[in-house]
Structure 1
Amino acid sequence: MRVAKGWLGLLLAMPLLASAEEIGQVSTVFKFVGPNDRIVVEAFDDPKVEGVTCYLSRAKTGGVKGGLGLAEDRAEASIACRQVGPISFKGELKDGDEVFKERTSLVFKTMQVVRFLDKKRNTLVYLVYSDRLIEGSPQNAVTAIPILPWAHAQ
């Protein structure tokens, strides 16, 4: 029972991260064996900000290694976040909070989305970037959402 309580504590201490839902994909390079290289478009809701959805497009490596999950995906990504309902906060927001994270190689590389709050301009700012155990990539993309009242069409 002590082990179970320890794992539960560890899970509760982990940051709340969004999980992505695939919206669509296009093939970019044909592979004779294994899946094609492709660009995938995914959507995820900010787990701490109700009313915000982010759309992430990124490259996925195909072939035999890609099919087995052993390939390293490219560091390029694009992000667009939008207000999709009334914005409300589920707890305190901290600058640089990790909103989304996914492994892009077997062990050493991840794609991350972090959130900042620009209080002066009343705007949420989302940054996507890739990092690696030794050295990250300077390639990144940013999007911003002004925090406005939600005008619902009737």
Structure 2
Amino acid sequence: MKLLPLKFAAVAVFSAFSACSLTAQAENIGSVDTAFKLIGPDHKVVIEAYDDPKVNGVTCYISRAKTGGISGGLGLAEDKSDASIACRQVGPISFTGPLKQQDEVFNQSLSILFKKLRIVRMVDQKRNALVYLTYSDKLIEGSPKNSVTAVPVDRSTPIPIK
């Protein structure tokens, strides 16, 4: 019976470590305050950039809510599930290798336990486009919030598929 709290503590520490290591992939572009908090940081909407690791020349911009206050400042708050995505061509598009038809490109923890923001890349071969979906999941909830965007690739550059 005494091991159960230790398991939860281990999961919390692992989740916090994972959040730190996964957040390193995101580049913070900026933020705006949405609600003043007397103690701790304000609630915010943050903008982060993610470069697709397998597609040179494509960057995804995510806007999402970040909880402030004491719990937010300590990294213990659960951020809201709402997020928006816009992926754009920011340079010549090239591929590091063949792409899977569907592949999770990034994920970032939004709470100390279980909830993650995910970005999935899908290939639309017919239109020679890359489709990016962002959604957040939570172990006990269905119907995740989501947002989608697409980046057309010039027909002279076919998208290599595995």
TM range (shorter): 0.7 to 0.9
**Aligned partners of 2:111 and 2:88: how far apart in 1?**
28
Structure 1 residue 69 and structure 2 residue 75: aligned? Answer: yes
| 5+ long unaligned stretches in structure 2 | 1-22, 158-162
Q: Which residue in 2 is equivalent to 1:25?
A: 31
1:137 is displaced (CA, Å) by 4.1
Identity %: 64
| Cα contact 1:130–1:137 (8 A) shared by 2 | no
**TM-score, structure 2 length as denominator?**
0.78
Could you say if the C-alpha distance between residues 35 and 136 of structure 1 is closer, same or farther in structure 2, counting changes exceeding 3 Å?
Answer: farther
Q: Which residue in 1 is equivalent to 2:48?
A: 42
Which structure has more helix as a fraction of its residues? Answer: 2
Runs of 4+ in 1 over 6 A off after TM superposition: none
1:136 is displaced (CA, Å) by 4.2
- Matched residue count: 135
Structure 1 residue 144 and structure 2 residue 144: aligned? Answer: no
Could you say if the C-alpha distance between residues 50 and 18 of structure 1 is closer, same or farther in structure 2, counting changes exceeding 3 Å?
Answer: farther
Q: Which residue in 1 is equivalent to 2:87?
A: 81
**Aligned partners of 1:137 and 1:23: how far apart in 2?**
29
Q: Which residue in 2 is equivalent to 1:51?
A: 57
**Aligned partners of 1:73 and 1:117: how far apart in 2?**
30
| 5+ long unaligned stretches in structure 1 | 1-16
**TM-score, structure 1 length as denominator?**
0.82
| Partner deviation per Cα, 1:3-54 (whole Å, 9 max, x = no partner) | xxxxxxxxxxxxxx98111111000010011100000001110000011011
Q: Which residue in 1 is equivalent to 2:123?
A: 117
**Aligned partners of 1:136 and 1:86: how far apart in 2?**
38
1:89 is displaced (CA, Å) by 1.1
| Partner deviation per Cα, 1:101-147 (whole Å, 9 max, x = no partner) | 11000011000101000000100000000011222443110000100
Q: Which residue in 2 is equivalent to 1:104?
A: 110
Q: Which residue in 2 is equivalent to 1:130?
A: 136
| Cα contact 1:18–1:47 (8 A) shared by 2 | no
Could you say if the C-alpha distance between residues 19 and 137 of structure 1 is closer, same or farther in structure 2, counting changes exceeding 3 Å?
Answer: farther
